[in-house]
Each structure stands twice: as C-alpha cells, then as structure tokens.
Chain A
Amino acid sequence: MATSKMGLKETYRAMIRGLEWTPTYQPPEAIYPYHTFEGIKIHNWDDWEDPFRITVESYWKYQAEKDRRFYAILDGFIQSQGHLNISDARYLNALKLFLQGVTPLEYMAHRGFSQIARFLPGAAPAFAALAQSMDELRHAQTQLHAISPYNRYYSGFHSMRRWHDRVWYLSVPKSFFDDAVSSGPFEFLTAISFGFEYLLTNLLFVPFMSGASFNGDLTTMTFGFSAQSDESRHMTLGLEAVKFMLEQDEDNVPIVQQWIDKWFWRAYRVTALVAAMMDYMLPRRFMSWKEAFELYFEEQMMNGLFPDLKYYGINPPRHVAQAIAEKDYLSHQVYWVLYSFTYAAMFHTWVPEPQELDWLSQKYPGTFDRYFRPLFERAREAQAQGHRHYFAGLPQLCQVCQIPMAFTYPGEPIRHQQRASVYQGETYWTCSEGCQWIFEREPEKYIQAWLPVHEIFKGNCGGASVPEVLAWYGDQGDSGDYLDSQDRKHWIAWHEQVNQLV
C-alpha cells in the first residue's frame, strides 16, 4: 500500500489534524456551548498531542484482533466447563461485585466520552475521546459476555442493571459516575481520565485480573487483559488532558488542583470496595490491598507522577495523607460492613477460614490481630451457635461517597468519624475530611443525592421492612452467608459428581 510509506507520526497528522472546520451557518458557541463555563482557558487546541498516534485504521485493526482473541478463549471456557475449574465458589462473589458495580460504569463511560467527543472543539482530543467511547462500549459488552456463563450456574448474576439502580452498596459506584457526567467536560476528563484511569485504575484492574488468573477464572482474566490493553490509552488521555490544561493558561492551575483534590478522594473511596474484595474474596491470594496500594499508588503516583506535576505548581491531592494512613485497616473495616449487611446484598460473605485469618495477620501485623481478628472469631462462634451476626437496622450513609459511616479518624482504626455540615438549615453527614470538603465545596449538588437508606425510609423501595426491600431488589437467594447458599450446595454437589467420574 502506498500509505505505508508515511511514518506513524505523518499518518497521524494526516488523518487526525485539520479535521475541524470553521462553521458559517451557526456561531461556534452554539455548536460548542459547554467548554467555557468551567473557567478553563484554551488558546490553541492544536497543542494537544496524542502519544499513541492512533488513527481509525489502526484502531479497528487492533480492536478487532483483541476481540478475536477474547471470543476464542470465551468459547473454549464454555466448552470445557470452565466454571468448575475456579479455586472455590466463594471467589465468584468478587465477580458479582464487579458485574453489578463496575460493568454499568463502563457503559456510563461510553456515554460520557461520546459527549466529550461531540463537545470538545479540538479534533485531536475529540478523536481520542471517540476512541475511548467505543472502547468503553466494548468493555461493557465483553464483560457481560465473559461473566454470563456463570449466570447459568450461580446466583448474584441475573439482574445487574436493576441492582445497579436500586441496591444500597451499588449507589457508591453509581453516584460516583453520575457526579462526573453531570459536571463540565474538563472536570469530567479530570475526574474519569485522570482521577480514575490514571491515578487509581491499576488498583482496580491489575489485582482483579491477577486474582482471576490465580483463581482459575480464565474468562474474567481474558476480558480484563483485553479491556486493560485499552486502558493505557485512556491513562494517556488523562495525563494529556491535565497537562494540556496546565500548559494552556496559568489561570487553569488552581481549578485543576481543586478537581484533582476532589476526584482523587471520590475515586479512592470507590476503591474501598476493591480493597475488601482483594483481601477477603479471593480464595487464592497473591497480594494484599496494602501492598497493591503501596506499589500502584504510593510508588507510581506519589514518587513518580506528582514530582512531575510539581513543575506546573500542582500538589499531591489534598487528602492523600488520610488515604495512606488508612491502608493498614481500610479493607477490614469495609469487609466487616459488607459482612454485617449481607442480609440485603446481592452477593455472599463469610468468616474467613483460620489460615486466611493468619494470612491477614501476616499482611497487616500492626492492626489485624489487635482490632479485627477478634471480630471475626466472635462472629464464627456466634454462627456455630446458630446466630449469624447481622447488624440490626440500616446504616447511616455518607452524603458524598454513600458508603455506610464506618470510617475512623486517620491512623486510629476504631475511633469512628461522623462529620456534620449544615446547609440551608439541614444537617448533612459525611464520613471523612475528604468527603466533607467535597460536600462543602458544592452543597447544592450533594444535597440532591439519592441515598438508599433515606429512600427506604421514605417508602420508595418497596416498603420499609427488609423482606419488602429484598422483593423490590428481586432477591432470588442471592443474599446471605455463603455457608447457607445455593452456590455452596451446588459447588459441592458438582465436584462430588466430577470426582466420581474420575
């Protein structure tokens, strides 16, 4: 082909640059109405450079190849009864959390980036956003396809869309993304492309994929790799967006700093669910939340990225010291919350096995034995006597992150924090300095939050009793302790059958 004579850089310039035109029928601000109200000043859109230099032609070529690889493995997984090869059926609860909480966000990301592609006036960032929008749709689709084989055999997979809109813990990821898509285009890019994709996505996907690999879940591992191979491009878009804003005008610096402060904390709070999943739901463990946080956040971001951004006058996120202080106890606090409220969750929890408690002691020498092991040991005893521990009553939720208010003062694993703010005569509660700061910056936004517990008490969720709410969720034996679950019964029965055949 004649075009192959052009190098990568020339091809990219020829295919992407100059795609925009000057409108004559309408004033530009009628076509692009959203990119100025946030106060970000852009002088030259052509300064935007996509280092991946992806063009339409190469985009289709590589995405088609990724899908070919993925679907070949998915077929093999189904044909070989792959669901019997996972480490243990408890593992699937990590997958349920993922399908219910994360896959719908992929679809929202698809919608968010198509809006960015339409409303940013520069051709290069608009094309990068368009490519990401298509990626995110692919992620939602491949995740549904990859996880659907489990739906034939196990609970917790059948109604993810309904649950995402209704179930209490899923309002945590849902409200996070709704917060981002309802902001302006530059804040959205800072929130999702930078705060989530660049700063924290490694903490979600890398441990999750390695967890899938280690626990014999071939199909999840494959979609994870397939999605994550797009992620490098998304991370690049995030870093590029932030640097572009910082380089275009000095007045942009304080605005971007506040967004980094806000979105680091918002995204970090969502990853609390991942922390619990990693330390408690993977029967075969390879890395603790604390180790992952140190490697993927402290080493890469605090020692790598933020010294780089210092050049522009950008400081590390305002509440980062609190996140670092929490690494020793975050996963235990959050799993204990999930354990205590599993009577109304669309997945199962359980008391970790003795050797799993030992693993946690070893990974968290300063905190686990002192504060958390006694909780689980008492819960095991109570369960043995027929009293599975559940928290009686509904929890108070943080007005911003919507997680039950179970967090503590930084560095103090058991002294609980409850912070009150008054706005227009009403009191609003937040879980931490970070969430309170976010609330007080934009109270008019966060007072509109759809807080599941409030909505239950208002009578908007099928009724005010637990059975009524579970019926409204569409519970079909998806909730409760793993020991009493259909999943466990089936898992044992199927493996007995397999053993007899062998």
Chain B
Amino acid sequence: MTQDSQRRLVGADLQESEEAEAIVAAISAKHPEAVVRRSPGLVRVEVPERLEVRRDLVERFLNRNWDTQDFNLSIVSFFGEIEDWDEDHIVIGWSH
C-alpha cells in the first residue's frame, strides 16, 4: 500500500502487445515519473495525479497513424477517472 497519501496515483493496465508498448513509451515520455510494472500478459503504468496519452507521441513510437479510440483494443483496466478523450489525447485523473 502506498504510504504517501499526498501522492495519489492514476494508471492503466494494458494487454502486452507492440501497440501497448508504444502507448506505454508515449506515457513515459510525457511523464518521466511514470512507473511501469509487469505481470504475465499485462503491462501496467502508474503516474501521480494525472496521466495523459497523446496521439502524436504514440504515433512517434508506433511509426504509423494511431486513432485514440484504438485505446479500446489495448486497455484492460484503469484507475482514476477519464477526464477527457478526443482526437488528440486521453486524460485520466481524479477530479477532486
């Protein structure tokens, strides 16, 4: 259990795949403090307070076009609240 209650985490669990690796790389590029944990078949990324998946970063790591709605094919679970989801990014945070 996280002892530091000031630092509320948000995060997402993705199924292991090349596309998920690119998404995780994009999240880590945007949030250098991101922590990546792995368990069989899964990759999980945790970020304090707010997590942003940016289309342009995912595309850079994938080397092809990526639709933010394709996130539906990789996501297994998340924690936090989906604050925004449009063509350019997906944001997970806590609103209060």
Contacts and interface: CB of A to CB of B under 8 A. Distances in A.
A39 interface: no
A303 B9 contact: yes
Contacts of B95: 308, 311
A229 B1 contact: no
A216 B59 CA distance: 32
Given A202-B77, A206-B76, A229-B73, A311 B84 contact: no
A153 interface: no
Contacts, number: 110
The SS class assigned to the A binding surface is helix
A312 B41 CA distance: 37
A8 B77 CA distance: 22
B2 interface: yes
A296 to B, nearest CB: 8
A7 B87 contact: yes
Contacts of B84: 51
Q: How large is the interface on A (under 10, 10 to 19, 20 to 34, 35 or more residues)?
A: 35 or more
Given A232-B78, A304-B79, A311-B96, A8 B40 contact: no
B82 to A, nearest CB: 4
A172 B8 CA distance: 34
Interface string B1-31: 1100100111101010000000000000000
B33 interface: no
B76 A308 contact: no
A450 interface: no
A200 to B, nearest CB: 11
Contacts of B13: 202, 206
Interface stretch (A98-106, A177-185, A207-215): A207-215
> What are the 8 closest A-B residue pairs judged by CB atoms, nearest first?
A213-B41, A311-B96, A51-B82, A213-B40, A214-B40, A300-B79, A225-B15, A210-B40
Interface of A: 7-9, 51-53, 58, 62, 65-66, 201-202, 205-206, 209-214, 221, 225, 228-229, 231-233, 235-236, 239, 286-287, 294, 298-305, 307-312
Given A232-B78, A294-B1, 18 more contacts: A8-B85, A51-B81, A51-B84, A52-B72, A66-B73, A201-B77, A205-B76, A206-B76, A214-B40, A214-B41, A231-B77, A232-B72, A303-B8, A304-B10, A305-B94, A307-B5, A308-B96, A309-B96
